[in-house]
Structure formats: C-alpha cells, structure tokens
Amino acid sequence: MTYRVCFVCTGNICRSPMAESVFRARTAEAGLDDRVEADSAGTGGWHEGDGADPRAVRVLAEHGYDSDHTARQFQASWFARLDLVIALDSGHLKALRRLAPTEQDARKVRLLRAYDPAAGDDLDVPDPYYGALDGFEECLEMVEAASEGLLAAVRAEVEGTAG
C-alpha cells in the first residue's frame, strides 16, 4: 500500500514544490520511493498550470534536486486518498483544517517544521515569493531540516512501527 503525502503552500510555486522535491529525494535515499508518494498543491489556484518559480527551480538545481512541477490547487476531495497533508505555515494549516470534510481528515494536516526539533516556537516557513534569492535558500534550509524528522515519522507509519 502506498503512503501519500501532499505539501501545501499558498500558490504551489515556491515552498510546497521545494518541500515535495526534497522529500522525494529523502524517500528515494531511504529506499522508500516505491512505498511513499509525495506531491504538492496550493491553497489557491492563482498559478494553476504554471511551473515552479524560476528562483525555486534554480535553488533546487544548485542543491541537486529535481524540480519538474506543475502548480495546482488543493481540493477537499483529496483528503480521502491522502495519509498526511503538510502545511508550510500556520495560515495554510488553518485553511486546510477548515477544508477537511471530517475531523479525521483535519487530523491529517500538520506543519512541516513541527518535524524539526530545532525549529523552536516559529513553525512557519516564510514565503520567499516577494523577496530575493536568499529567501529561497532559507526556505530550502528549513525544508531540509524538517524533512529528516518527517521521513522518520513516515517510515514508522509505512513500516508499521508508529506508536
């Protein structure tokens, strides 16, 4: 059975495609890419059909990540097929939980940085869209830091060892 994770940000062109790319690389490195599927979406449809922001593509490529991506908007009906919905900031978390058809679906929504023990109290990944390239670098660093903890949690679910 495939475990499905969807990363969600605002427009699905910066943060969530970066998180998807990093997490796909982590699952491949862990030998779980045949059991874990990752994708991404936005809370809004402004960029639907577009590729990832060129700055996100550049930063991903510079760090050895794939960035093939087409933006799309998250749909409430997707909860039925997803095991985990990863929000990139608290605004997305609230929007996704409101969108969830059931309480069980709402419990599937988590903040990405909650998986980073060094994150402290601020669990939001800042939106780099209106800034310079260094914001995309910072976003990637946060995503990479949280991806290890997320991978451990997903591995526990896939291997049936979750508490």
Q: What angle do CA 81, 84, 89 make, to 5 degrees?
A: 130
Residue 13 has pLDDT above 90, yes or no: yes
Rounded CA separation 82/147 (Å):
18
Cβ atoms within 10 A of the Cβ of 125, count?
A: 27
- Regarding beta strands 109-111 and 36-42, do their DSSP bridges make them parallel or antiparallel, or are they unpaired? unpaired
Catalogue the active-site residues. Answer: 9, 15, 127
Task: Select 3-158's CATH number: 3.40.50.300, 3.40.50.2300, 3.90.550.10, 3.40.630.30.
Answer: 3.40.50.2300
Percent of the chain with pLDDT over 70: 99
Q: What residues does each domain of the chain span?
A: 3-158
pLDDT at 94: 98
Q: 3-class SS at 53?
A: coil
Arithmetic mean of pLDDT over the chain: 96
Structure tokens at 4: 């499905």
Percent of the chain with pLDDT over 90: 96
Residue 163 has pLDDT above 70, yes or no: no
Q: pLDDT for 54-96, tens place per residue?
A: 999 999 999 999 989 999 999 999 999 999 999 999 999 999 9
pLDDT at 118: 96
